[in-house]
């Protein structure tokens, strides 16, 4: 340092500003950001055909002995997993792209489910055990009327509004304070975990007015149709599939837009994003709220298919499992977390029948192995294969 | 400010964020009285350590200013204060005549026309060089407009021009994480230029560069002066000597000496600071 500052100045201290002349550059092409490649579109349409046409037809029309017959329980299982896949997709938007790990996404899922559940409970009418206008659990608590927050829930449109608004508003308010205070990383994850736990405790209480630890069940009909028929099951299945596919398109649109590139930039170098003039709070809040709304819709589709919602859905373990689906499938790929939801839940469904006591070990092992050997998840494995095979 | 952020997310209703300076175009900076940046009596302390101690500094419009000083002199803290990363305990920081930087957030300051290069090159490593420049480009940077933003041909020309200037034409589609250290430094400078700032703050722009790259960076810095005001913090004295017009020496959080390079080098106090007592 000393020598440098004391030494004689270089002879040419005023180099001519050669770089000032703007260089005439050949024209750049705007990079294309297609929603899907051609192969991707073909796969997407094939998936849509299978889910929306082939599978329902195979379930309804083919006789049980037929090799291509799709049994009812498989329809229910796949419908349920597609709801999980929507949640995994929502998780990928916030975790895979914006780098914010939420361990409370089960809460938004459950809130959407409860909002739909309120409508389904009121659709039971007087067919409950006590033949009352009120749901059985309220009769049991000796309540005489619906509490105020049950108002209008006998209208489907209102319940549908709640499905979107409750998780959305909660996420927005929570996110606003968390992101404005620049809470990040593991601190954010822990707070979301605490949030879902707190809500679970709240919903466990009978006097909260949501059926306590039993939650809502014993639904009879939806929009006037009996809920337990094969037709209703297939309709819900197809609607869920349609939602999953359109949310995939929506998510692709987001991540291929400039906004999507800002999100990944926030994940990789947030301070640079700020000094570029973007306010990361807005971007995080947007994708966080959207993610919560997607979870709420998934929950609303889930409840009529499985026929029950209870506070167990808000347990911290459930939310952690969502993160595992995304990690197993491959973060930041959209299709990966959807695949992850199918792989993990498919395995869960098989294991809990065959070796119920080992499932949690298998789940843990799966997570460890993927973290150690497949940082890009299953999709990353395929991509690596495709690249080395070329 | 805090109350207005709510609206900004859907960017719908409010001009609230706008009022706070988000879209202050850089040509709005009032420099009719000469200086583009005033720091007056600025003090910052961390746990009792005075990183900046009544620092007074003025940068003229279009000037190229070099700032040197031993480690811990407060150079980076000064940049943090100017860019809104650190709030000063005392003192005033003005951009032009009318923009009080101490009241603004980092993105607002960036929009007002101050670009900053970090000591460690900070680019978006997963994005291509092209996308880095695209994201940095001066534009309406609110979430809703960004969602539907498309590149026009004028934007492409600007990006192409900047790529040529920072010599990354051949690396256009390469993820920035795969560029060499010097190329990352240039890409970051290129990103600053895409913001079309009035004032550029360059924190150690030639750290880790080869001699040839350093030479080119010196040329680049000089070409920027005039069109932009440039503040360079560097340890590389050859580089400073090559580009310096006015040099400011910081020591223990305040200005120790200021003037032409040879005058500063001859200043006995400066020599003592660099020699140690």
pLDDT over threshold 60, residue A203: yes
> Does A33 or A274 have the greater pLDDT score?
A274
Residues 216-255 of A with CB under 8 A from B: 254
pLDDT recorded at residue A23 = 47
pLDDT recorded at residue B227 = 85
pLDDT recorded at residue B23 = 40
Residues 168-187 of A with CB under 8 A from B: 172, 176, 180
Please spell the DSSP secondary structure of A91-127, one letter per residue: HIIIIIIT----S-HHHHHHHHHHHHHHHHHHHTTT-
> Does B238 or A165 have the greater pLDDT score?
A165
pLDDT recorded at residue B9 = 37
Q: Give CA A141 to chain center in angstroms.
A: 35
> Does B275 or A237 have the greater pLDDT score?
A237
Looking at every residue in chain B, the average pLDDT score rounds to 84
pLDDT over threshold 90, residue B237: no
- Select from B2, B156, B161 the Cβ nearest to the Cβ of A30: B156
Whole-number CA gyration radius for chain A:
25
pLDDT over threshold 80, residue A8: no
Please indicate if any CB of chain B lies within 8 Å of the CB of A276. Answer: yes
CATH number of residue B114's parent domain: 3.40.50.300
Q: How confident is the model at residue A27 (pLDDT cuts 50, 70, 90)?
A: low
> Does B12 or B203 have the greater pLDDT score?
B203
The model's pTM: 0.87
> Does B97 or B199 have the greater pLDDT score?
B199
pLDDT recorded at residue B245 = 85
Provide the shortest C-alpha distance from residue A385 to chain B (in Å). 21
Total number of domains constituting chain B: 1
Q: Looking at the DSSP assignment, which residues form a beta bridge with residue A179? A: none
ipTM: 0.84
CB atoms within 10 A of CB A285: 25
Contact B5 A4 (CB under 8 A): no
At A113-168, the pLDDT tens digits run: 999 999 999 999 888 888 888 999 999 899 999 999 999 999 999 999 999 999 99
pLDDT recorded at residue B28 = 66
pLDDT recorded at residue A284 = 97
How far is Cα A2 from Cα A25, in angstroms, rounded to an integer?
A: 43
Please indicate if any CB of chain A lies within 8 Å of the CB of B263. Answer: no
Contact B130 A28 (CB under 8 A): yes
How far is Cα A317 from Cα A306, in angstroms, rounded to an integer?
A: 19
Provide the shortest C-alpha distance from residue B157 to chain A (in Å). 7
Query: Poorest-confidence range of A105-109, A250-254, B50-54?
Result: B50-54
pLDDT recorded at residue A253 = 95
Looking at every residue in chain A, the average pLDDT score rounds to 90
pLDDT over threshold 60, residue B7: no
Whole-number CA gyration radius for chain B:
19
Task: Choose the mutation target among B224, B237, B262 for the interface with A, i.e. most A CBs under 10 Å.
Answer: B237
Host domain of residue B259: 2-275
Q: Is the CB of residue A263 less than 8 Å from the CB of residue B96?
A: no
Helices and strands in chain B, H and E counts = 12, 10
At B239-267, the pLDDT tens digits run: 888 888 899 999 999 999 999 988 888 88
Provide the shortest C-alpha distance from residue A29 to chain B (in Å). 7
pLDDT over threshold 90, residue B98: no
Please indicate if any CB of chain B lies within 8 Å of the CB of A73. Answer: no
Please indicate if any CB of chain A lies within 8 Å of the CB of B25. Answer: no
- Closest of A68, A54, A43, A293 to residue A170, by C-alpha: A293
Which residues have a Cβ under 8 Å from the Cβ of B149 and sit 6 or more positions away?
Answer: A257, A258, A259, B139
pLDDT over threshold 90, residue B66: yes
Q: How confident is the model at residue A26 (pLDDT cuts 50, 70, 90)?
A: low
Nearest chain A residue to B136 by CA distance is A276
At B139-197, the pLDDT tens digits run: 899 999 999 888 888 999 999 999 998 889 898 899 999 999 889 999 999 999 999 99
- Select from B128, B215, B219 the Cβ nearest to the Cβ of A17: B219
Contacts of A18 in chain B (CB under 8 A): 219, 223
pLDDT recorded at residue B34 = 75
How far is Cα B87 from Cα B90, in angstroms, rounded to an integer?
A: 9
pLDDT recorded at residue A170 = 98
pLDDT over threshold 90, residue A280: yes
From the number of C-beta atoms within 10 Å of its C-beta (0-12, 13-18, 19+), residue B196 rates as middle
How far is Cα B23 from Cα B4, in angstroms, rounded to an integer?
A: 14
Q: How confident is the model at residue B18 (pLDDT cuts 50, 70, 90)?
A: very low
**Backbone dihedral region of B96: left (phi > 0), alpha (psi from -120 to 50 degrees) or beta?**
left
Contact A279 B107 (CB under 8 A): yes
pLDDT recorded at residue A389 = 59
Residues 183-222 of B with CB under 8 A from A: 191, 195, 215-216, 218-220, 222
Q: Is the CB of residue B227 less than 8 Å from the CB of residue B109?
A: no
How far is Cα B127 from Cα A169, in angstroms, rounded to an integer?
A: 32
């Amino acid at each position: 340092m000393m020598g440098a500052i004391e030494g004689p100045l270089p002879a040419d201290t005023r180099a001519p500003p050669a770089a000032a002349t703007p260089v005439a550059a050949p024209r750049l092409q705007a990079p294309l950001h297609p929603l899907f490649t051609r192969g991707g579109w073909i796969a997407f349409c094939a998936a849509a055909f299978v889910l929306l046409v082939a599978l329902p037809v195979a379930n309804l029309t083919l006789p049980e002995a037929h090799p291509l017959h799709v049994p009812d329980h498989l329809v229910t299982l796949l419908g349920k997993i597609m709801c999980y896949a929507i949640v995994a997709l929502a998780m990928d938007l916030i975790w895979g792209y914006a780098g914010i790990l939420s361990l409370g996404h089960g809460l938004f899922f459950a809130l959407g489910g409860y909002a739909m559940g309120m409508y389904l409970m009121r659709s039971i009418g007087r067919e409950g055990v006590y033949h009352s206008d009120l749901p059985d659990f309220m009769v049991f608590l000796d309540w005489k009327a619906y509490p105020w927050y049950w108002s209008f829930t006998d209208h489907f449109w209102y319940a549908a509004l709640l499905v979107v608004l409750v998780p959305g508003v909660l996420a927005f308010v929570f996110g606003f304070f968390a992101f404005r205070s620049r809470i990040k990383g593991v601190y954010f994850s822990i707070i979301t975990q605490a949030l879902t736990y707190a809500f679970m405790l709240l919903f466990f209480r009978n006097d909260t007015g949501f059926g306590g630890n039993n939650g809502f069940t014993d639904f009879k009909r939806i929009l006037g149709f009996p809920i337990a028929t094969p037709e209703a099951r297939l309709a819900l299945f197809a609607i869920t599939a349609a939602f999953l596919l359109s949310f995939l398109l929506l998510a692709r649109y987001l991540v291929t837009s400039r906004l999507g590139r800002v999100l990944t930039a926030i994940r990789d170098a947030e301070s640079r994003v700020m000094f570029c003039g973007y306010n990361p709070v807005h971007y995080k809040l947007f994708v966080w709220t959207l993610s919560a709304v997607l979870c709420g819709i998934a929950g609303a589709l889930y409840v009529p298919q499985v026929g029950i919602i209870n506070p167990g859905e808000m347990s911290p373990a459930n939310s952690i499992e969502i993160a595992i689906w995304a990690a197993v499938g491959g973060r930041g790929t959209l299709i990966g977390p959807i695949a992850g939801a199918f792989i993990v839940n498919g395995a869960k469904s098989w294991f809990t029948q065959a070796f119920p006591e080992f499932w949690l070990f298998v789940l843990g092992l799966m997570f460890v192995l993927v973290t150690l050997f497949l940082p890009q998840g299953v999709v990353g494995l395929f991509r690596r294969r495709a690249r080395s095979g070329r | 400010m805090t109350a207005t952020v709510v609206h900004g997310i859907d960017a719908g209703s409010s001009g609230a964020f706008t009022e706070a300076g988000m879209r202050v175009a850089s040509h709005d900076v009032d420099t009719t009285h000469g200086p583009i940046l005033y720091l007056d009596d600025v003090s910052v302390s961390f746990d009792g350590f005075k990183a900046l101690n009544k620092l007074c500094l003025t940068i003229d419009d279009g000037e190229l200013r070099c700032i040197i000083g031993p480690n811990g002199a407060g150079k980076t803290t000064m940049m943090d204060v100017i860019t809104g990363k650190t709030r000063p305990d005392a003192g005033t920081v003005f951009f032009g005549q009318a923009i009080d930087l101490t009241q603004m957030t980092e993105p607002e300051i960036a929009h007002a026309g101050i670009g900053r290069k970090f000591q460690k090159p900070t680019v978006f490593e997963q994005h291509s060089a092209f996308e880095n420049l695209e994201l940095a480009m001066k534009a309406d940077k609110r979430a809703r407009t960004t969602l539907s933003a498309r590149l026009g041909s004028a934007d492409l020309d600007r990006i192409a021009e900047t790529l040529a200037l920072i010599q990354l034409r051949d690396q256009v589609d390469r993820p920035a994480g795969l560029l060499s250290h010097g190329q990352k430094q240039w890409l970051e400078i290129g990103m600053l230029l895409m913001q079309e700032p009035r004032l550029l703050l360059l924190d150690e722009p030639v750290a880790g560069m080869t001699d040839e790259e350093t030479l080119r960076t010196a040329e680049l810095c000089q070409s920027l002066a005039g069109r932009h005001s440039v503040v360079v913090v560097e340890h590389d004295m050859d580089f400073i000597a090559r580009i310096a017009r006015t040099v400011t020496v910081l020591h223990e959080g305040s200005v120790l000496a200021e003037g032409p390079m040879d005058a500063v080098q001859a200043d006995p106090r400066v020599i003592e600071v660099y020699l140690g007592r």
